[in-house]
Structure 1
Amino acid sequence: MVDTRDLLPLTIDIAREAGELARRRRTEGVAIAATKSTIADIVTEADREVEQLIRGRLARARPGDGFLGEESGAEVGSSGVTWVVDPSDGTVNYAYGIPHYAVSVAAVTGAPEPGSWTAEVGVVFAPESGELFHAARGAGAWLGERRLHVEEPGPAGALVGVGFGYDPATRPGDLDRLTRAFPLARDVRRAGSAALDLAYVAAGRLDAYFERGLHPWDHAAGGLLVLEAGGMLGGQPGGHPGRPMTVAAAPGLFARLIEVVYR
């Protein structure tokens, strides 16, 4: 049995340290290290450095745990706990100097796959604003000392967060999906960080969010925030968040959004 009271303080401490490193490196200038899925899908030298900091801290504090990171891949552990890490969610924002990016750190038990794991703790830290969102299974979602709750949209419709993939071939489908969702929306936001979009759903700053193409590290921490704030999280495959689709919303909106997104 995992005691989240042990895991959460460590997660918060590491996320803060990692975020401060990312912020410092941003003030020093950003160097693009490589591209990934497409030429627009970048990784910076700071991404790699921040992930190595997180990985090193965890290896010293909990040497038996596994690790699944965006930049350095997977390592199987012996404890049953795996850390799922995105060192800078919103890398393009980060590279352009847009302050909307975050460090995302989650601890999960079970197989390190969204359909199989149980998220135990999750932290999303936005270094530029200093906001730290955190959740532990069964203990609620929080922004600092304020407990978070999802919000149902009012008569004017939902404020919906969206994201688009880097591959130009997928964008017509993304736009078609967004068009189908517009009757539910008062407006849409495309901010560029899945982790923060999910945290904003938990905080009631967005009523819903959906995006195709997310990896486990994009939604591991933010997804727990949504669930612990009373929201619903799903997608594909098999009703779980994943590469084909991730959807988060307040309960009264979730089924309607799923219907138009999946149609």
Structure 2
Amino acid sequence: MLELARRIAVEAAELAARRRAAGVEVAASKSSPEDVVTFADREVELFIRSSLADARPNDGFFGEESTDSASAGTSGLTWVVDPIDGTVNYLYGIPAYNISIAVVEGDANPQTWRALAGCVVNPVLGEVFTATDARGAFLGQQQLHVNPLLDLSQALVGTGFSYSSDIRVKQGLVLAGLIGQVRDIRRIGAAALDLCNVAAGRLDAYYERGLSPWDHAAGALIAREAGALVKGFGDLRADRPVTLAANPRLLAILEPLLFDLFTSAGLETD
């Protein structure tokens, strides 16, 4: 399944890059005028979905651009797909977007699934991140390991923001409370790449509110297999309220701080 995910993700990345070179057109807005979908998003997802259906016709499918036609399948496995993660970057030509494909045991519920394999491809850099359950995470052939940093004041922390301006204001309050306690903040604009960057040691930690299953399915597995603890607040798994990722000892310091900041800012925590 990993080889299938990798092959289709690489081919989908090549398709996305060709469409970007030809010029990007916005097809529609989703949750807000800022939350756009391009025609390439839809074309790439259709390619991924049809390729998976040819190879694994009994598996379920859950993709960002076809949630209204998600299929449950009969095999007990579900492919969770973001055809172009970082669509605004893609629209503007910022070289930080990716194709994300994961296969999970169960349905598309992060609280109950078991992620089995995942692949994240950045077409611009030609980077291919992969992981399988209990077998490690890799960038190409290089095995990945999270940074062992334990000092929060030296941590480079990634995050992202909502498309809702009201929620962004609250997230700004969280950021204001955090930024003076860490080395610095990075906002790349593609959740799967943020999680892969934790795995590769390019970030020490990452947190974000509002991620959908396709945003983190593959990236969370890659970060976890590189040694990160990936979770929500408390006993919850990574999900829409928050996704947290860092080495376990650093996250033990960061999590309660973020919980208090979320609560103070009026953001949901469960």
TM-score (norm 1): 0.95
Q: Quick one: distance in 1 between partners of 2:171 and 2:255?
A: 14
Gaps of 5+ in 2: 261-270
**How much does 1:183 deviate?**
4.2
Counterpart selection for 1:28 from 22, 25, 31:
22
Matched residue of 2:148: which SS?
Answer: coil
The aligned amino acid for 1:46 is: A
**Contact 1:139–1:228 (Cα < 8 Å) also in 2:** yes
Matched residue of 2:91: which SS?
Answer: helix
**How much does 1:111 deviate?**
2.8
| Greater share of residues in strand | 1
2:39 corresponds to 1:42: no
**How much does 1:257 deviate?**
1.4
**Residue equivalent to 1:233:** 230
The aligned amino acid for 2:229 is: M
**Contact 1:160–1:187 (Cα < 8 Å) also in 2:** yes
% identical equivalent positions: 53
**Contact 2:210–2:240 (Cα < 8 Å) also in 1:** yes
Matched residue of 2:232: which SS?
Answer: strand
Deviating beyond 3 angstroms after TM superposition, the runs of 4 or more aligned structure 1 residues are none
**Contact 2:233–2:255 (Cα < 8 Å) also in 1:** no
Counterpart selection for 1:107 from 103, 117, 121:
103
Q: Quick one: distance in 2 between partners of 1:215 and 1:208?
A: 19
Q: Quick one: distance in 1 between partners of 2:59 and 2:252?
A: 36
**How much does 1:168 deviate?**
0.4
**Residue equivalent to 1:4:** none
The aligned amino acid for 2:20 is: R
2:152 corresponds to 1:158: no
Paired residues, number? 257
**Contact 1:42–1:92 (Cα < 8 Å) also in 2:** yes
**How much does 1:238 deviate?**
4.7
Matched residue of 2:83: which SS?
Answer: strand
**How much does 1:172 deviate?**
2.0
Q: Quick one: distance in 2 between partners of 1:132 and 1:179?
A: 34
**Contact 1:235–1:245 (Cα < 8 Å) also in 2:** yes
**Contact 2:150–2:250 (Cα < 8 Å) also in 1:** no
**How much does 1:182 deviate?**
2.3
Taking the TM superposition and a 5 Å limit, the aligned residue runs for 1:65-76 are 65-73=59-67, 74-76=70-72
**Contact 2:150–2:249 (Cα < 8 Å) also in 1:** no
**How much does 1:181 deviate?**
2.3
Greater shift after overlay, 147-156 or 72-81? 147-156
**Contact 1:236–1:242 (Cα < 8 Å) also in 2:** no
**How much does 1:236 deviate?**
5.0
Q: Quick one: distance in 2 between partners of 1:255 and 1:172?
A: 26
Taking the TM superposition and a 5 Å limit, the aligned residue runs for 1:149-188 are 149-153=145-149, 157-188=154-185
Q: Quick one: distance in 2 between partners of 1:130 and 1:252?
A: 32
Q: Deviation string for 1:127-181 (max 9, x for gaps)?
A: 0000000000011000011000000336551000010001001012111212232
**Residue equivalent to 1:62:** 56
Taking the TM superposition and a 5 Å limit, the aligned residue runs for 1:186-201 are 186-201=183-198
TM-score (norm 2): 0.93
**Contact 2:230–2:246 (Cα < 8 Å) also in 1:** yes
**How much does 1:213 deviate?**
0.7
Q: Quick one: distance in 2 between partners of 1:108 and 1:30?
A: 31
Q: Deviation string for 1:88-143 (max 9, x for gaps)?
A: 00000000011100000000002320000000001000000000000000110000
**How much does 1:184 deviate?**
3.8
2:245 corresponds to 1:248: yes
The aligned amino acid for 2:141 is: E
